[in-house]
């Protein structure tokens, strides 16, 4: 198996979403694995949109999928290719199979297979004892007299007896009995003028994977059962199958297939919530894959270096949101500050709090704040931030003078009747300071508390509410320094004047 995972040039992989929905976290994980593998092997990543079902396909969803991939940081070297625009390729392949005897025209009405007697009982029915059997062999395979009233579909003529095997980089050698494989449809029957309709999934993937010279097919384990059909197609088409690598599925907390009722499954919702893409990537990478040791905080460049198909697990994984949040806080805290700043800038732009003078290289604003101030402030705030929007919500008073004091914080920390008097004295004491730094603020504050006969903590907590409006904030004296001398004094006096009101 070493030949599969060893460095080899010419690796070509693809991510092939179907635009019948948004970018699901499961799809995102598959895309990520393909991408990590491609980048680690200096290979080529291809994006292919599998939109051969005109009825279910929604073209407007493609952009959302592309946006999701972009946010995730998964880029591609070729494509996006659209299967709906490659119809001729599939028809030619189907005709070739017809010609070499590995496919046949099927005149059966579509309904015969789509429902009715031969189909699977519905989920609500009891499939007990000797329920309906699927038909796996179509009677048209030995040549049916053509029926002028119906347009035929093209089906694959699955060999009678024997087995089909393939190599899976994750699951090992797999072997399936051909008798379990039905004569699947390759090409839909034509509608109106056309001779044949669109390609079906099995034909499309194989024709494209051959055409695009895909070397490794990395996809969800729900495709394991499809793989022997595709291997048969490769053979019939005279092509060599690629290496397959099926990755385990992602489940919800109750271990059923991840769906909306488990919470967000659309990758774009995580972007909207304010997760950092790299944290999301790190979390996703560890769902069904492990570098082998105990490390968990793995930056993307190391993910690329460490990723291997041999490290992919065979067991389904549950999507654990609390762990994702933990990863996010880890990145919020550990990222070099200059890497975090652009994310915070985006967030502040979104909420309208951003000021251009905080950009790198810009001239300081009228209040003296510049990029260095911005970096220092974000650095102070980040240990307490869980999601990007926190920079706009409870951190608002750091970036804007237009903020409200949280009533709950007031109720909790302004209980003591001496509060306004203390805050007024503190304002005076701080105003008189000739130096504005942590220790000066500290000493002045404690002196006021002592003179007023209260514990420092009481003054400190009351002051926090006064100057940032929140019960939760960074250490007070660091906060004062970052806010600035005049602003702190002004907010303190404002607090005194509002005391008792509301």
Residues within window 90-119 making contact with RNA, judged by CB under 7 A: 106, 108-110, 113-114, 119
Integer Cα distance of 46 and 43 in angstroms = 10
Shortest reach from residue 298's CB to RNA, in Å: 11
Q: Is 416 in the site for RNA (CB under 7 A)?
A: no
The DSSP annotation for 136-193 comes to: -S-GGGG-----TTSPPEEEE-PPSSSEEEEEETTTEEEEEEGGGS---EEEEEP-TT
Q: Is 317 in the site for RNA (CB under 7 A)?
A: yes
Instruction: Give 391-422 as a 3 state SS string.
Output: HCCCCHHHHCCCCCCCHHHHHHHCCCCCHHHH
Q: Is 15 in the site for RNA (CB under 7 A)?
A: no
Collect contacts of 288-293 with beta carbons under 8 A, ≥24 apart.
288/29, 288/33, 288/247, 288/248, 288/250, 288/312, 288/313, 288/315, 288/316, 288/317, 289/33, 289/247, 289/313
Q: Is 279 in the site for RNA (CB under 7 A)?
A: no
Q: Is 174 in the site for RNA (CB under 7 A)?
A: yes
Q: Is 46 in the site for RNA (CB under 7 A)?
A: no
Tokens of 119: 């189909």
Between 287 and 358, CB nearer to RNA: 287
Catalytic annotation present for 415? no
Q: Is 182 in the site for RNA (CB under 7 A)?
A: yes
Q: Is 29 in the site for RNA (CB under 7 A)?
A: no
Q: Is 477 in the site for RNA (CB under 7 A)?
A: yes
Contacting RNA (CB under 7 A), which of 5, 34, 36, 50? 50
Q: Cβ(156)–Cβ(102) under 8 Å?
A: yes
Q: Cβ(171)–Cβ(217) under 8 Å?
A: no
Shortest reach from residue 474's CB to RNA, in Å: 6
Shortest reach from residue 349's CB to RNA, in Å: 25
Q: Is 218 exposed, middle or buried (0-12, 13-18, 19+ CB in 10 A)?
A: buried
Q: Is 188 in the site for RNA (CB under 7 A)?
A: yes
Q: Is 86 in the site for RNA (CB under 7 A)?
A: no
Contacting RNA (CB under 7 A), which of 43, 152, 241, 469? 152
Between 63 and 297, CB nearer to RNA: 297
Q: Is 362 in the site for RNA (CB under 7 A)?
A: no
User: Which segments of 14-152 does DSSP mark as H helices, in order?
Assistant: 25-40, 62-72, 87-99, 110-114
Residues sharing a CB contact under 8 Å with residue 74, sequence separation 6 or more, in sequence order: 15, 28, 31, 32, 35, 45
Q: Is 226 in the site for RNA (CB under 7 A)?
A: yes
Q: Is 443 in the site for RNA (CB under 7 A)?
A: no
46: nearest Cα among 26, 67, 63, 69: 69
Between 168 and 343, CB nearer to RNA: 168
Shortest reach from residue 399's CB to RNA, in Å: 18
Q: Is 180 in the site for RNA (CB under 7 A)?
A: yes
Q: Is 1 in the site for RNA (CB under 7 A)?
A: no
Q: Choose the binding region for RNA from 32-40, 156-164, 179-187, 419-427 (rule: CB under 7 A).
A: 179-187
**Catalytic hit among 260, 306, 323, 376:** 260
Integer Cα distance of 62 and 68 in angstroms = 10
Shortest reach from residue 423's CB to RNA, in Å: 15
Contacting RNA (CB under 7 A), which of 165, 314, 349, 415? 314
Q: Cβ(13)–Cβ(43) under 8 Å?
A: yes
Q: Choose the binding region for RNA from 123-131, 273-281, 300-308, 345-353 (rule: CB under 7 A).
A: 123-131
469: nearest Cα among 418, 379, 408, 419: 408
Between 293 and 361, CB nearer to RNA: 293
Between 71 and 477, CB nearer to RNA: 477
The label of the residue with tokens 């810009």 reads 362
Give catalytic residue positions.
260
């Amino acid at each position: 198996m070493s030949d599969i995972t060893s460095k080899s040039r010419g690796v070509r992989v693809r991510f092939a979403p179907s635009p019948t929905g948004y970018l699901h976290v499961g799809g995102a994980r598959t895309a990520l694995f393909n991408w990590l593998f491609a980048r680690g092997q200096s290979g080529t990543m291809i994006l292919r949109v599998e939109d051969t079902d005109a009825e279910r396909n929604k073209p407007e969803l493609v952009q959302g999928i592309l946006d999701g991939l972009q946010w995730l940081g998964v880029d591609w070297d070729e494509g996006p290719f659209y299967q709906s625009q490659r119809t001729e390729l599939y028809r030619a392949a189907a005709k070739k199979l017809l010609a070499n005897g590995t496919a046949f025209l099927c005149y059966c009405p579509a309904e015969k297979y789509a429902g009715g007697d031969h189909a699977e009982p519905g989920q609500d029915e009891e499939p007990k004892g000797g329920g309906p059997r699927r038909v796996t062999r179509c009677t048209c395979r030995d040549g049916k007299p053509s029926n002028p009233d119906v347009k035929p579909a093209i089906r694959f003529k699955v060999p009678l007896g024997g087995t089909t095997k393939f190599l899976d980089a994750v699951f090992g050698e797999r072997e399936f009995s051909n008798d379990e494989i039905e004569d699947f449809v390759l090409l839909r029957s034509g509608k109106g003028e056309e001779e044949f309709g669109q390609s079906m999934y099995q034909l499309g993937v194989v024709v494209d994977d051959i055409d695009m010279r895909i070397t490794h097919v990395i996809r969800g384990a729900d495709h394991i059962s499809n793989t022997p059909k595709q291997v048969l197609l490769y053979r019939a088409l005279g092509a060599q199958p690629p290496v397959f690598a099926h990755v385990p599925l992602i489940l919800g907390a109750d271990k059923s297939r991840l769906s909306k009722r488990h919470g967000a499954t659309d990758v774009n919702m995580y972007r909207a919530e304010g997760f950092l893409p790299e944290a999301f990537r790190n979390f996703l990478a560890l769902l069904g894959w492990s570098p082998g040791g105990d490390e968990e905080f793995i930056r993307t460049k190391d993910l690329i270096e460490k990723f291997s198909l041999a490290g992919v697990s065979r067991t389904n994984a549950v999507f654990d949101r609390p762990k994702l949040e933990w990863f996010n806080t880890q990145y919020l805290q550990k990222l070099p500050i200059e890497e975090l700043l652009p994310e915070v800038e985006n967030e502040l732009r979104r909420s309208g709090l951003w000021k251009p003078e905080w950009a790198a290289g810009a001239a300081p604003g009228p209040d003296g704040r510049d990029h260095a101030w911005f970096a220092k402030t974000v650095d102070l705030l980040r240990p307490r931030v869980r999601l990007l929007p926190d920079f706009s919500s409870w951190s608002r008073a750091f970036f804007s003078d237009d903020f409200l004091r949280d009533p709950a914080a007031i109720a909790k920390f302004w209980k003591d009747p001496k509060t306004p008097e203390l805050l007024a004295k503190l304002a005076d004491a701080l105003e008189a300071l000739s130096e504005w730094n942590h220790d000066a603020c500290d000493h002045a504050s404690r002196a006021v508390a002592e003179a007023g006969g209260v514990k420092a903590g009481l003054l400190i907590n009351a002051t926090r509410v006064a100057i940032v409006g929140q019960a939760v904030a960074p250490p007070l004296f660091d906060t004062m320094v970052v806010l600035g001398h005049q602003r702190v004094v002004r907010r303190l006096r404002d607090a005194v004047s509002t005391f008792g009101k509301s």
